[in-house]
Amino acid sequence: MDNKFYITTPIYYPSDKLHIGHTYCTVATDVLARYHRLRGEDVMFLTGTDEHGQKIEDKAREAGVTPKEFVDRIVEGPQGVLDLWKLMNISNDRFIRTTDGYHMSSVQKIFKKMYENGDIYKGTYKGKYCKPCESFWTESQLVDGKCPDCGREVQDAEEEAYFFRLSKYADRVRDLLVSTDFLQPRSRVNEMVKNFIDPGLEDLCVSRTSFTWGIPVDFDPGHVVYVWVDALSNYITALGYLNDEKDGYDRYWPADVHVVGKEIVRFHSIIWPAMLMSLDLPLPKHVFGHGWLLLDGSKMAKSKGNVVDPYILARQFGVDALRFFLMRTFPFGSDGNFANELLIQTINTDLANDLGNLVSRTTAMVNKFFGGNLPAGCGVSDEDKALLEKLHSGDGPVVSVSGGAPDVELLAMASGLRSLYEDAMAQFAPHKALEEIFKVIQRANKYIDENAPWALAKDMAFNGPRLAHVLYNLLETARICAVLLTPFMPESMVKLFAQIGAPESAQTWDSTVWGVLSDTAAVTKGENLFPRVDMDKALEELEAAKEAALKAAQGTTIEVEPQLEEKVDFDTFCKSDFRVVKVKACDAVKKSAKLLRFTLDDGTGTDRQILSGIHKWYEPEDLIGKTLVAIVNLPPRKMMGLESNGMLISAIHTENGEECLHLIMVDDAIPAGAKLC
Ligand code: MSP
C-alpha cells in the first residue's frame, strides 16, 4: 500500500473574516486528514490563503492600508484565518500564503516554463470580467448577461494580455473527466463537460495589467499573473516545486485529493490539470467538489450579509460538537441549509442522547455494580470467539446481522463497523461513516434496555458474570465507535477514552476489532461529555451574541455634546458650590422607573437628600459608600413628592446612539464637604 496521503483545502481569500461555510470545507478536509493519519499513513495536509488580486487591492485601498497590511490583519490578526483554524482544531501540516517569497518566485518560474514551451502567448484580451469573482467569462457563459457564479454584473474588458493554450488540452481534459474517477462526486462531471468543455474551451487570459497587486511576470514588467494561475500553483510550490525553501514534492505529489467547493470545481478540474499537462507533471488523483452551506436557501456570503460566525457557535456549543454537526448533517457533496435549530437538535439527539447516554449509563453501572473495575474473565467469551470467527470467515465484511440474539447483533455490528466506515471514507462520504457509527451506538443503547443490567444486579451471586459481560460488551462497543469518531471529535474522544479506561493501544486503527479492551480496564465516571442544550435559551443567547458581534464589527461610535460658545464670567461660575459627598443610603423611589433617592453626608453634620434620575445606569445598592460630587446651592426641587437639595454631577455621552451616564466618583480619601474649586 502507498503509505502517503496528500490532501489540500482551497486556499482562502482573506478579503473578509471567514464564516461557517469556509469552516465546513476545512473541517471536512481535516477529518479526512486525521482519518488517514489514524490509519498510520504519512499525511501531508495543506491549507493557506490566496492573497493577490484586484478585490484585495480595492479593499485595502478602502481601508487606507497597503494590500499586504490588509491581508496580514485578516490572516494573522485576532479572529483571523490562522486563529480560526486553531480554534477549530485543524491539523494542517503546512500553511501557504501566496505572498510568501518562495511561492512568488516559483510561480514566476512556472509561468516562464509554460511561456517557453509555447503554451503561453501574448494577445489582446476582450471579454467580460467579474470583479468580485476575479473570473473572465465568454458571452456564451454569462447567465442573463451576468456572472454565472455569483449573478453580479460583469464588465467589458480589453487589454494586452498573455494567454494560456487551454484549448490545446480540451480533449485530454475531457477524457480525464469522462473516463476516470478524477472528479468526484461523479455528478459534477456532466456539469463541467456540458457547460465548459463541449461549448468549446477557449484559451485562458493569464495576465493582467490593470492592477498591480499580484505576482509580476518577470520577463514583462507591467503584467501580473492571473490570480488563478498563482493560486492553483500553491499545491506544488508548498512542496518545494521550483524552490529550495520547501520540500516534499517527490514524496507527496501527486495529491491524493484536492477538496474544493463546487463553484471552484471548474478551476480545479479543467484549468489545473491543463496547467499540469503543460508543465508535464503528474495529475492529482482526485478533485472532490463539495456542496455549499446555505442560509435561508442562498450561499452564505459576507456581501449578502447572511453569514454565520463560527466563533459564536464554537463558544456556545464547543468545537467538537460544531465539527460533528457539520459532518453529520449535510451529505458531503450536496448543499445543506444551515439552521441553529438543526445544530441544537443534532447535539441533543446524537451526542447527548445517543453517544453521551451510552457512555454515561455504562460507566455509571460499572462503577455502581463493580466499583469501577469489571472482574477478570468477563471479556470475550468462547462463544463470542466462535461467533467472531464465523463472522470474519467469509470473504467480505460483515454488513449487518438482524433478528439474532442481542449479543450476536451487537458484536456483529460493532466488529463489522470498521469496514463500512472505511468504504464511506474512501468515497469521501464522512456523513455516511457517521451514519454507520450511530447505527451501532443506537443498537448498543437498545442492548442496555434488552439486558436490563439493573435487574441482573439484583442477584449478583447468580447474574454477576452475565452482568459483567454485558457491561464489557458495551464498553467495547463504545471504544470501537470512539476510535472511529476521533477524526471528527478529537478532544472529546480523548476524554471518552479516559472514562472507559482505554489506553493508547486501544485507541488505534488496528484496535478497531472486537476484544481489545482489557476486561479489567479502570472505568471512571467523568464529566458529562455532551450536555443537553436547552433550545430556547441557546437560541436567545445566539441572537444576543450575534448582535453584540455585529455592534463590535460596526465599530463603536462615541458622540459627545459640542462645547458651548457662550462665555460665563468667573464670578458667576464661582457662585456654584460643588462639594464632595458620601453616599450613606440610596434607594429607588417608589413608582418611578428613573429616580434614585440619595442620603448624603455633605460634611455639615446634617444629611442631605438628593434625587437623581439615573436608575437606568445604576442599582442603588452599588452606590452606597461611594464618594461623589454634588452642586449643593441649587434651589430645592420637588420630585414625586420628595424634596431634592442639589444635583449629583455626572458625565454623559452617546455610544452607538445610546445615551451613557457615569457618576463622577472621586478618591475616597477626600473628606465629605471638601469644596471643589
Ligand atoms: N481563493 C479561492 C480558492 C483558490 S484554491 C487554489 C477561493 N477562496 S474562498 O475563500 O472564496 O473559498 C474557499 C473555499 O470555501 C471554497 O472551497 C469555497 O467553496 C468554500 N466556501 C465558501 N463559502 C462556502 C459555503 N457557504 N459553503 C461551503 N463552502 C463554502 O475560492
**Per-residue pLDDT for 399 more than 50?**
no
Ligand 1 close to Cβ of residue 50 (< 6 A): yes
Ligand 1 close to Cβ of residue 22 (< 6 A): yes
Within 354-459, residue ranges assigned H as helices are 357-370, 382-393, 406-426, 430-451, 453-456
CA distance 410 to 391: 12
Nearest CA to ligand 1 atom 18: 261
Overall average pLDDT of the 2-12 stretch: 94
Ligand 1 close to Cβ of residue 12 (< 6 A): yes
Angle, nearest 10°, between helix axes 430-451 and 319-329?
Answer: 100
Q: Are 378 and 463 within 8 A, CB to CB?
A: no
Q: Which of 452, 464, 450 is nearest to 369 (CA)?
A: 464
Q: Which of 637, 593, 599 is nearest to 615 (CA)?
A: 593
**Per-residue pLDDT for 558 more than 80?**
no
pLDDT tens for 422-474 read: 999 999 999 999 999 999 999 999 999 999 999 999 999 999 999 999 999 99
C-alpha cell at 256: 491524493
Cα 18 to ligand 1 centre (Å): 10
CA distance 557 to 555: 6
Q: Which DSSP letter does residue 137 get?
A: E
Please give the share of the chain, as a percent, with pLDDT higher than 70.
96
Q: Residue type at 196?
A: F
Ligand 1 close to Cβ of residue 293 (< 6 A): yes
* Average confidence score pLDDT of the chain: 93
So what's the pLDDT on residue 562? 80
**Per-residue pLDDT for 656 more than 90?**
no
Cα 133 to ligand 1 centre (Å): 11
Q: Which DSSP letter does residue 315 get?
A: H
Ligand 1 close to Cβ of residue 288 (< 6 A): no
**pLDDT classification of 397: cutoffs 50, 70, 90:** very low
Please, which residues have CB within 8 angstroms of residue 276's CB and are 6 or more apart in sequence? 282, 283, 284
Cα 385 to ligand 1 centre (Å): 49
Residue with cell 447468580: 462
Q: Are 379 and 474 within 8 A, CB to CB?
A: no
C-alpha cell at 542: 445566539
Please, which residues have CB within 8 angstroms of residue 495's CB and are 6 or more apart in sequence? 526, 527, 529
Among 177-181, 359-363, 655-659, the least confident range: 655-659
Mutate to test the pocket of ligand 1, among 8, 25, 227 (most ligand atoms within 8 A of CB): 25
CA distance 33 to 46: 10
So what's the pLDDT on residue 96? 98
CA distance 289 to 280: 24
So what's the pLDDT on residue 327? 98
Ligand 1 close to Cβ of residue 338 (< 6 A): no
C-alpha cell at 62: 478602502
**pLDDT classification of 405: cutoffs 50, 70, 90:** confident
**Per-residue pLDDT for 56 more than 80?**
yes
Ligand 1 close to Cβ of residue 300 (< 6 A): yes
Nearest CA to ligand 1 atom 6: 232
pLDDT tens for 303-338 read: 667 788 999 999 999 999 999 999 999 999 999 999
**Per-residue pLDDT for 2 more than 80?**
no
3-state SS class at 459: helix
Cα 22 to ligand 1 centre (Å): 6
Overall average pLDDT of the 214-237 stretch: 96
So what's the pLDDT on residue 552? 76
With 0-12 / 13-18 / 19 or more C-beta atoms within 10 angstroms meaning exposed / middle / buried, residue 239 is buried
Cα 264 to ligand 1 centre (Å): 7
CA distance 496 to 483: 10
Nearest CA to ligand 1 atom 10: 12
Q: Which DSSP letter does residue 622 get?
A: G
Q: What are phi and psi of 594, to 5 degrees?
A: -105, -35
CA distance 519 to 625: 65
Nearest CA to ligand 1 atom 21: 22
Q: Are 291 and 428 within 8 A, CB to CB?
A: no
pLDDT tens for 197-206 read: 999 999 999 9
Mutate to test the pocket of ligand 1, among 257, 264, 296 (most ligand atoms within 8 A of CB): 264
Cα 11 to ligand 1 centre (Å): 8
So what's the pLDDT on residue 404? 57
Ligand 1 close to Cβ of residue 260 (< 6 A): yes
Among the atoms of ligand 1, which is closest to the Cα of residue 268? 6
Half-sphere exposure of 26 (CA within 13 A, CB side): 26
Strand pairing category for 578-588 and 596-601: antiparallel
**pLDDT classification of 395: cutoffs 50, 70, 90:** very low
Q: Which of 171, 148, 132 is nearest to 53 (CA)?
A: 132
Overall average pLDDT of the 637-653 stretch: 93
Ligand 1 close to Cβ of residue 24 (< 6 A): yes
So what's the pLDDT on residue 228? 95
Q: What are phi and psi of 342, to 5 degrees?
A: -65, -40
User: Could you write out the DSSP letters of every residue in 241-299?
Assistant: TT-SS---HHHHPSPSEEEEEGGGHHIIIIIHHHHHHHHT-PPPS-EEEE--EEETTEE
Q: Are 16 and 62 within 8 A, CB to CB?
A: no
Mutate to test the pocket of ligand 1, among 7, 11, 19, 22 (most ligand atoms within 8 A of CB): 22
Q: Are 523 and 378 within 8 A, CB to CB?
A: no
**Per-residue pLDDT for 11 more than 70?**
yes
Q: Which DSSP letter does residue 349 get?
A: I
The model's pTM is 0.80
Overall average pLDDT of the 648-652 stretch: 95
Nearest CA to ligand 1 atom 13: 12
C-alpha cell at 570: 468667573
